[in-house]
Amino acid sequence: KLTRRALYVDNGINIKNIDQALAGLHAKTSSRFTIFTLGRITSQKDPQLFNEIAKKFPNINFVWIGDGKLRKVLTSPNIMVTGWLGVEDALKLAMNYNAFLLTSEWEGLPMALLEAMYLKKPCIVSNVIGNNNVITNNVNGFLCDNISDYSRVINKLVNKGASNDLLNNAHNDIIQHYNSTVMAKNYAAIYRKALNQK
């Protein structure tokens, strides 16, 4: 059971590994706006909604980096499923795309979202716990409650792009908070405090 003695430390990504994986590479964006997601194709990620969004935008490419038992749900002809890739290969693909989409019905603290934020990709995510712990709407990304919200945001990004402020806010959130170095320091501080009390 949780008590007043319970403590909480946010998860984080290893940004040093990302920098090493992408060192010397430059984004090669295609002429067609491309939206990607990354993860297992399971009910948690709501591939049905992802598919419905793709159907509304036949002139946009959608890429699902990953695989899963609900792959057959992704029927829209503008969706490409890559299958499972190693972390480095997935990151190298992601850096070439225009925006990140996460339609999850629930989340913990999604690593793919944190990686996309670090890569300065505009993030369009479902307004659920986990996502909305990280994303503040129109500040460092976009929270969506329904398909109309997703459509409005995607249209805005295609026509106007994302502001540099929004992309920099997301990137800086990862550097300052959601990374493995900060996470380790926070854990270390908890252990030091406990040891000093003894």
More confident call, 198 vs 182: 182
Place of tokens 């402020």: 165
pLDDT, tens only, 21-60? 999 988 887 789 999 999 999 999 999 999 999 999 999 9
pLDDT, tens only, 58-71? 999 999 999 999 99
What mean pLDDT comes out for the span 163-178? 97
Q: What angle do CA 97, 88, 178 make, to 5 degrees?
A: 80
Task: Give the pLDDT of residue 134.
Answer: 97
